[in-house]
Chains A and B, each alone.
Chain A
Amino acid sequence: MSSIWIAVIGSSITAFLNKYIGHSVPEKWLDRPRIKSINTLVPVVLLSALVGVQTFANKQELVIDQRLVGVGVALIALKLKASFPIVVVAAAISSAAVYNLL
């Protein structure tokens, strides 16, 4: 089995377990201030790290290319309170423009 299949099936199983556990365990198991405050930060750090790596990494090398323009435009769109699909499309168009024209 390829590693992509392992990732698809494995992450689907753990995602379901996460969801099902919440509906099934006694509240006091997870309802602790420290768990909650760490949990609020987990998506912040992981998603931020993904922004950084997806913008600057080319395999193990750090590079500056058209993606940075796209992400910059996305951040401006978010600042202007644009909706998600607009943010993504604006990033794609601006990055494609730089890639194709320069």
Chain B
Amino acid sequence: MSIKPKNDAVERTSLSVAFTVGLYGAAFGAAGVTAGFSVLQTCLLSLLLFSGASQFAVVGIMGAGGSALSAIATATLLGFRNALYGLQLAPILKVTGIKRIIASQITIDESTAVSTLQSNDSDRKRAFYLTGFGVYIFWNLFTLLGALGASAIGDPSVWGLDAAVPAAFCGLVWPRLKDKRLFLISASAIGLALLLTPITPAGIPIITTVILAIVFGWKK
């Protein structure tokens, strides 16, 4: 099999993204165990749910004492962007049956982003699968390591794990705050959630902020 230099670049980008993002899985593994999930439950979220922001939301809400329903609803709304990625990818991948199921599972921010950076469909396809499978492998590996590491220690505050979780959310939201309007929307979501925290059950303050997305998004 001959590898053209161009494909080399696709491989390099895909694998370096996969490894860097995979490392972040350790933070998720630690967050899961800190929130009261078992190592198995934490690893299953990475294997089955496999979408970072949704996974952090599930453990964050359950850890704060929220209901399963509000955790599922928040994770589902966060994961809806993956449906829009699938729309973009379907005409490039052209897969059916079991292959479509596999391609769906690895349809996430990173595989879509690296794929859309390419200039032709064959590279887009390669980049999608390389990044998708790469992130899947590293993310799950580091989730296990993070979960095992966190279960080996006692009080999460001693190791700063209680701050690692909101810091992880900062890292996820930061790249999305591209202008002043988005900063303002972000600040109002924080304000609304904190306002509701003392008066509603855990999980409700978070899911309620979707109203802000609808209000601000309605006018485009």
Contact = CB atoms under 8 A, between A and B. Distances in A.
A89 B170 CA distance: 13
Interface stretch (B2-10, B115-123, B194-202): B194-202
Interface residue SS majority, chain A: helix
Given A22-B87, A34-B220, A85-B20, A92 B194 contact: no
A46 B77 contact: yes
Contacts of B209: 45-46, 48-49
A22 B105 contact: no
A59 B41 CA distance: 22
Interface residue SS majority, chain B: helix
Nearest to B163: A70
A81 to B, nearest CB: 10
A43 B81 contact: yes
A6 B41 CA distance: 11
Given A7-B62, A11-B58, A71 B170 contact: yes
Contacts of B21: 84
A43 B169 contact: no
Contacts of B163: 55, 66-67, 69-71, 74, 91-92, 94-96
